[in-house]
Every structure is written in structure tokens, then in C-alpha cells.
A and B are shown apart, each in its own frame.
Chain A
């Protein structure tokens, strides 16, 4: 053992060519790097907290019972102190975002599986091109695409059109996350499944996707967070609405209010009360996204 140790030290230093740092210098270098990393982390986090704190301070005053139970109505309501709120916006956001998720998750995962598991399939170059195009397309154009595909034929703005526009936001993110999550699963696991006489799709469904679950959920979350904050794709798809729809079908087939788009229109309105409600809408959006992240993390860890 001693001979072995002596040997490595000798050949080790010769092979490295550069002289080995003394322990003291190594220690300080380590400290320095750690310090640099810590301060850059703080540098990144501080503005984030400032933004959150600012939003909360500005909007907290408008967060009252009415805010969560009343529809917005006309600006006079806010002026004259009549009850006004964003209940229709909150529900609309939940409806449009969940519809988008319901469409985007299976399609996105399907595309990711296709790209990762069947790289030689002849449709894959086309799929990759579509995905990359969608990924690079500005959000406003995704809105126009949904406008052309859904709003035009239906002849009306609708929650459904908004959901389709948000699907275009989520799809490429989910597909890429799925592809890279599947790529890191060792090939040997697929072979083990195949050797049991299982068809390829069975192996993917029962062994590969569960093994990649954390990566998939993370991808879905990132996609959702991105989409939930987008106003641009919704401006001429779900469009916005100051009122609750009169029938439940209105959520799907009529114009629907959503938080980012409402936040935008409240912010550019000339009314002081509406500005405050805009900040409050920001708080609600933040809380929604954070809650979603926490529940998803917890469920992934449990399973």
C-alpha cells in the first residue's frame, strides 16, 4: 500500500506537469469561488424579491372579498365604489389554462416520446422542424395562428381559442423536456423490457416514462408557468371580458377574461382604482403559479 502511494504521488505530479497548489492556497481559492457563487446567487435573487415585494405592496389593498366574488363591470363601478372584482378573470384563467394543459400535455409528451424513442422514424424530421418553429415563434404570432385556426372559423373570440394559443406556447417546451428526460434513461432498461417479450410501446409506457417522471413533470411545470404568464397570445383569441358569461358554455365558446391579459388592460387604463386591481391581479397570478409548483413538487416526491 505504501509503495503504491509513493508511486502515484511521483507519477501523478510528473503527469500533471503544473505544480500542485499548496493546501493553503487551495483553501483560499475554494473560499473565494464559494463567495463569488454565493454573491451572484444573491444578486439574482434580490431583484426577484424586490419585484415580488413591490407587486404585493401595490396590490394588497385591492385584495378584498369583492375582488374574489364580483365581476369587473364598467369603470364606473370602481369610481362610484360599487362592488367590483376579478372573479370572472380568475375562473377564466383556470378554465383556459387547464384546457391548454389538457391539450398540450398528451401532445407534447407524445411528440417528445416520438423524438427520443423513434429517432429514425421518417416523420421525425418534420416533427422536429415543427417543434423548433413553434419554439422560436414570438408569442403574438402564436395568438395569430390560433386566431386563424379557431377564431376565424368560429366567428367569435373564445376560451377555446385562448387555450389553443397557449397550447402553442406549452407544446415545444413539453416536447423538448420530454425528449431530454427520456434521452438520459439508460438504453439497457429498454433492452431489458424488450427481452421480456414486451412490445416497444409497452416498454416506453410502463418502464421508460415512469423512470423519467420527474423530468416530465418539471417540463410540464415550466411550460405551464410560461403559458400562465403570457398575455400576447390571448389578446385576440380569448380576447377578454368584463363580465361573467351568462351560461357555462360561455367559458369555452365566448370571449373569456384571463389574468395576464386583464392585468395588461387594467394597467393601461386611465383609472387609478383599476391600476390597483391590476397589481392585485399580479399577486393572484404569482400565488397561482407558486402553489402549482409546490403541489407538483410534493406529488412528484411522494410518488
Chain B
């Protein structure tokens, strides 16, 4: 395993941009559920204003890794994180760091849609802003529209913004969750299979959104869709049973991967 890791690291040193362009970086990061590791000694760099795709078979630790990047494991009983996760060079797991500040900067879209059931569509979108004290109606309106347009949902809900957020279709709820995450303007956006419940049109809109967002935001996306990974991402990381097997620029990963297992997975021969 160590061999593979050093090869991967070696390769990426050749092709990677300068270290100053790293926005987030993990160093020997492991996540344990009880005694078993969900993610094992992963060192991975996520470059500024780039899209990094995490791929790998189900249960290989993609979600687990993603959640470690904004301290979502803090509240999971029995989960424990070791190693470091650096945001702009400082460890988000350092003793005095407030996870709330980390999560303001590192936003997240979950695998399943999670609208706040008692809030209207509008209130869902501006929840993050409202609850930190932004009350100016004009500002909120503008942010809500921008976020909903970004998430390809505006046209469908603009006439019923006051309707409950739980009362729309599953795919619409997912786009609402995306809009809500966008509204707080995170610096890093973690997306866990954001389009797995969406139709092709919305999927394309979300992918366009990501390309647009890339101008300001660093994105880490988990996806099972190889076409999606190759279409939108700049870097790809391949995980297998908790290990980072290979990390490379997406173009290289999908044409000439270093590892045999990566190739087998990408070409659909296992996983």
C-alpha cells in the first residue's frame, strides 16, 4: 500500500501545480468507526478553484473522507479522526478551532436531499444567512434568486417560494439543498453525489453551475458517474476500501492511469 501511495504522490509531484495553489489538504488522515477504519492514512491535495472528483466502489470511504473535510464526523457517535486536514495551511482539527467557523467556509451538499421540513422554499435557501443575522429583505431576496437560479430550480419554484420545502419532488429537494449550500457562499464546496437523484437536464445544469462556481470556489465532488467525473473535474482521486489508490489530473487518470486497479474500475471491469 505504501508503495502505491508513494508512486501516486511521486506522480502528482510531477504534474501538480505549485503548492501555494493548494486550498485543502489532508495529511495521513484516517477516520475510524469504532475500531475499523473507514478511511485509511489518506494524504490528498485539493487545488484552489479546481474540481476534485472522488471515485471508487460503494463503501470505499468517499463519503467518510468528504465528511472529514468539514468536521461532520464530530457529531457521529463512535467516529474518530486522526491525522490532519489543512484549510489554507492550518489544521481544522487543531485544538482551538471552532467547527462552526470551519463549516461556514467549507459547505456541504449531502447524498440525500435534506430540506428543513418546516421552512418554506425561500426560508430554506436563506436559512444559513438569516440564522447568522442577515435580515435585510432585499439582500435575502437577491441571494435567494441567485442561488435558486444557480441550482436550476428558480423557474420551477419562483411562483411558490412560500410553499413548504418538503412539499416538492425529490430532485427539486436536492436542488433546493444545493441552492441552500450556495447561498452562504462557501470557499470550499463538498458535494456528495449531488446529481444522483436528478434527471439529465438538471444534471447538466448542475454541472454547468459547478464549472461556473469554479471561478471562485474549490469543489470536491463524489460521483459514481465516470462520464461526469471526466467531464467536469480537474483532478480525480480513486479510493478503494478506505485507501487512496491513485490521485492524478483527470485527463491522465482517464487515459493513462498509473494503477491497474484504477484502470479496471474506470473501464468498468470491477466495482
Residues of A in contact with B (beta carbons under 8 Å apart): 120, 188-199, 202, 206-207, 210-211, 213
Docked-complex contact B131 and A202, CB < 8 angstroms: yes
Given A207-B118, A211-B116: A195 and B70 interface contact (C-beta under 8 Å): yes
The answer to whether B177 has its CB under 8 Å from any CB of chain A is: yes
Query: Which of B26-34, B52-60, B81-89, B106-114 forms contacts with chain A?
Result: B106-114
A265 to B184, CA, bound (A): 63
A192 near B110 with CB under 8 A, answer yes
Distance between A208 CB and nearest chain B CB, rounded to angstroms: 9
B132 in complex: contacting residue of A189, A191, A195, A197, CB < 8 Å:
A197
Q: A188-B110, A206-B131 are in contact. Are A196 and B181 (CB under 8 A)?
A: yes
Within 8 A of A (CB), among B148-178: 177
Binds A, one of B13-21, B97-105, B221-229: B97-105
6 cross-chain pairs, A with B, having the tightest CB-CB distances, nearest first = A197-B104, A196-B128, A192-B114, A195-B108, A210-B118, A197-B103
A196-B128, A211-B116 as given contacts; A191 in contact with B110, CB under 8 Å: yes
Give the distance in Å from the alpha carbon of A197 to the alpha carbon of B118 in the complex: 19
In the complex the two chains form, what is the Cα distance from A198 to B72 in whole Å? 12
Interface footprint category on B: 20 to 34
Cα-based distance from A191 to B111 in the complex (angstroms) = 12
Our pick among B115, B131, B181 for the contact of A198 (Cβ within 8 Å) is B131
Is there contact, CB below 8 Å, between B114 and A199? no
- Looking at the complex, which one of A188, A192, A197 makes contact with B184 (CB distance below 8 Å)? A197
Known: A196-B107, A196-B184, A197-B132. A191 touches B114 (CB 8 A): yes
CB distance from B103 to the nearest CB of A (A): 4
Neighbouring A residues of B72 by C-beta, 8 Å? 191, 194-195
A residues near B181, Cβ cutoff 8 Å: 195-196
20 A-B pairs with C-beta separation under 8 A: A188-B110, A189-B116, A190-B75, A191-B110, A191-B114, A192-B114, A192-B116, A194-B99, A195-B110, A196-B103, A196-B107, A196-B128, A196-B131, A197-B100, A197-B128, A197-B184, A198-B127, A198-B131, A207-B118, A210-B118
For residue B10, CB closer than 8 A to chain A, the reply is no
Question: Is B119 an interface residue when CB atoms closer than 8 A count as contact?
Answer: yes
Contact of B180 with A188 in the complex, beta carbons under 8 Å: no
B271 at interface, CB cutoff 8 A = no
Known: A194-B103, A197-B184. A206 touches B108 (CB 8 A): no
Q: In the bound complex, what is the Cα–Cα distance between A195 and B112 (angstroms)?
A: 14
Which residue in chain B gives the minimum CB-CB distance to A194? B103
Residues of B in contact with A (beta carbons under 8 Å apart): 70, 72, 75, 77, 99-101, 103-105, 107-108, 110, 112, 114-119, 127-128, 131-132, 177, 180-181, 184, 186
Tell me the dominant secondary structure on chain A's binding face: helix
Residues on the A chain within 8 Å of B184, using CB: 196-197
* Assembly CA distance A188 to B108 (angstroms): 12
Return chain A residues, CB-CB under 8 Å to B128: 196-198
Q: Closest approach, in angstroms, between the C-beta of A113 and any C-beta of chain B?
A: 15
A195 in contact with B117 (CB, 8 Å): no
A199 touches B100 (CB 8 A): yes
Q: Which residue of A lies closest to B104 (CB)?
A: A197
- What would 19 more interface pairs be, CB under 8 Å, given A188-B114, A197-B186? A188-B112, A194-B72, A194-B99, A195-B72, A195-B103, A195-B108, A196-B103, A196-B127, A196-B181, A197-B101, A197-B105, A198-B100, A198-B128, A198-B131, A198-B132, A207-B119, A207-B127, A211-B116, A213-B118
A189, B114: Cα distance in complex, Å: 6
Q: A189 CA to B77 CA in the complex, in Å? A: 16
Q: Which residues of A contact B180 (CB under 8 A)?
A: 192, 196
| CB closest residue in chain B, given A117 | B75
Q: Which residues of A contact B116 (CB under 8 A)?
A: 189, 192-193, 207, 211
- Which residues of the partner chain A approach B104 to less than 8 Å between Cβ atoms? 196-197
Q: Which of B101, B116, B117, B186 has the most CB of A within 10 A?
A: B116
When distances are taken between beta carbons in the complex, the residues of chain A under 8 Å from B115 are 192
Task: List residues of chain B with CB within 8 A of the CB of A190.
Answer: 75
| Docked CA distance A166–B130 (Å) | 38
A138 to B101, CA, bound (A): 48
Q: Interface centre among B103, B131, B181, by most A CB within 10 Å?
A: B131
Alpha-carbon separation in the docked complex, A162 to B101 (Å): 47
Closest chain A residue to B105, Cβ basis = A197
Give B150 Cβ to nearest chain A Cβ, in Å. 16
- The complex places the Cα of A189 from the Cα of B112 at a distance, in Å, of 11
Closest residue on chain B to residue A120 by CB atoms: B77
Cα separation A213 to B117 with both chains bound (whole Å): 12
**How far in angstroms is the closest Cβ of chain B from A192?**
4
* Nearest-Cβ distance from residue B77 to partner chain A, whole angstroms: 8
Contacts of B118 in A (CB 8 A): 207, 210-211, 213
Contact residues in B for A213 (Cβ distance below 8 Å) = 118
Chain B neighbourhood of A207, CB < 8 A: 116, 118-119, 127
**How many angstroms from the CA of A198 to the CA of B112 in the assembled complex?**
20
- Output the nearest chain A residue to B98 by Cβ-Cβ distance: A199
How far is the CB of A300 from the nearest CB of chain B, in Å? 12
